Homo-oligomer: A and B are copies of this chain.
Amino acid sequence: MSTIKDVARLAGVGVGTASRALSGRGSVSDDAAERVRAAAGRLGYRPSSIAQALSLQRSGAIGVYVPLFDGAFYSEMLGSIDRVLRVHGRHMIAANGCGAGSPRQKALDGIDFLLGRDCDGLLLASNSLTDEDCIELFRRFPRMVMLNREVPGHAQSCFSVDHEVAGRLAARALVAEGHREIAVIEGPPDAPDNRARMRGFFAELAACGIAVRPAHRSEGGFRFSLGAAAARALVAAGPLGRPDFTALFAANDLMAMAAVSALGELGVRVPQDVSVIGYDDSRFAGYTSPPLTTVRVPIDAVAASGCRLLLNACYETDLPVERSFPPTIAWRGSVIRGPHSPLGERP
């Protein structure tokens, strides 16, 4: 690999001139600039990003931690982040939770790993860290933004949809279609995003005078297998092993999809026997059978804005940043009219 010294020598100038000519910063005579460019071209010169990093005191790397790479939710974030980063000439060091330990420990390990790689900034998505973990992290490493969660005292550095509002939306969608006997497959009980959407969902239902029976609440965990198991448990709890609810809200699309599948194997049809509404509007939601009606949360926009704020913090730029990411309902085939009269309007 040729260095800037080689370029300078071939061009017949000093390294300073070569550096300025190549970077465009500082003044160089047209003549010299041209010779440097030619020399660089002939040598196939590429600046060493490592040496640049050492000299500039920044690596250009943004560390990104997500619990896992697969799953429509996080991979969509990743794509969005890469897009923003690349436009601005930065790159991503990506890590997901791996190895042994609890989800929280995996997150801590992954973040620690990232911290050791000299990242200029950190982009974090984790609902397994405690608020205290996050606060401590912010203290040690202020150039950080959290995605998909709110951390007390750090609203500026947190980007998320309002999951409570989104949860209310799901409830409104169901009651607007005339459902009242409603079952729920919840996400992990200590995940902040799950709790927020459940809080909103139940609150809106309560506002409509609807209470969800305890037997109609089943705990999942944002995973296919748990969604399927939860769905089976829900119908098993009904009389004669038939569901005694007409609608089902799953805390994410993965579980909604798994629930539809499990329901199908039990002989209960979606949407004829029970309507199902999901959450996230994952890439696949339009292509299940039936296509999934779901709460759309614009996670790509969330990630992009979070990334841009981080970039501003790291590189003194002034990229535009959105703060509001209103959820909507993606109406598809898995929710149909229920037996009761509609309450309110279709959101």
A103 within 8 A of B: no
**Residue among B93, B227, B289 making CB contact with A261, cutoff 8 Å:** B289
Supposing A257-B284, A283-B70, A287-B258 touch, asked if A93 and B96 sit within 8 A by C-beta, the answer is no
**Residue among B117, B227, B288 making CB contact with A289, cutoff 8 Å:** B288
What is the CA–CA distance of A20 and B265 in the complex, to the nearest angstrom?
A: 63
A264 within 8 A of B: yes
In the complex the two chains form, is A117's CB within 8 Å of B49's CB?
Answer: yes
How does the 8 Å CB contact mask read for A220-240 relative to B, with 1 for contact and 0 for none? 000010011000000000000
**Residue among B46, B54, B115 making CB contact with A115, cutoff 8 Å:** B46
Chain B residues with CB under 8 Å of A91's CB are 93, 95, 113, 117
Chain B residues with CB under 8 Å of A264's CB are 289-290
In the complex the two chains form, is A82's CB within 8 Å of B96's CB?
Answer: yes
A50 within 8 A of B: yes
In the complex the two chains form, is B59's CB within 8 Å of A50's CB?
Answer: yes
Q: How large is the interface on A (under 10, 10 to 19, 20 to 34, 35 or more residues)?
A: 35 or more
Chain B residues with CB under 8 Å of A87's CB are 99
A94 within 8 A of B: yes
What is the CA–CA distance of A87 and B99 in the complex, to the nearest angstrom?
A: 8
In the complex the two chains form, is B98's CB within 8 Å of A113's CB?
Answer: no
Query: Which residue of chain B lies nearest to A257 when distances are taken between CB atoms in the complex?
Result: B287
Smallest distance from the beta carbon of A298 to chain B beta carbons, Å? 15
In the complex the two chains form, is B289's CB within 8 Å of A260's CB?
Answer: yes
In the complex the two chains form, is A68's CB within 8 Å of B79's CB?
Answer: yes
How does the 8 Å CB contact mask read for A56-97 relative to B, with 1 for contact and 0 for none? 000111000000111110011011001100110001111110
Chain B residues with CB under 8 Å of A273's CB are none
Query: Which residue of chain B lies nearest to A115 when distances are taken between CB atoms in the complex?
Result: B46
In the complex the two chains form, is A227's CB within 8 Å of B287's CB?
Answer: yes
Supposing A70-B72, A260-B289 touch, asked if A78 and B49 sit within 8 A by C-beta, the answer is no
How does the 8 Å CB contact mask read for A105-129 relative to B, with 1 for contact and 0 for none? 0000000010111100000000000
Query: Which residue of chain B lies nearest to A270 when distances are taken between CB atoms in the complex?
Result: B289
How does the 8 Å CB contact mask read for A191-232 relative to B, with 1 for contact and 0 for none? 000000000000000000000000000000000100110000
Chain B residues with CB under 8 Å of A70's CB are 72, 75-76, 78-79, 283
Can you identify 17 A-B contacts, CB atoms within 8 angstroms? Answer: A46-B115, A48-B54, A54-B54, A70-B78, A71-B283, A86-B95, A87-B99, A92-B93, A94-B94, A254-B284, A258-B287, A260-B289, A261-B287, A261-B291, A263-B289, A265-B290, A265-B333
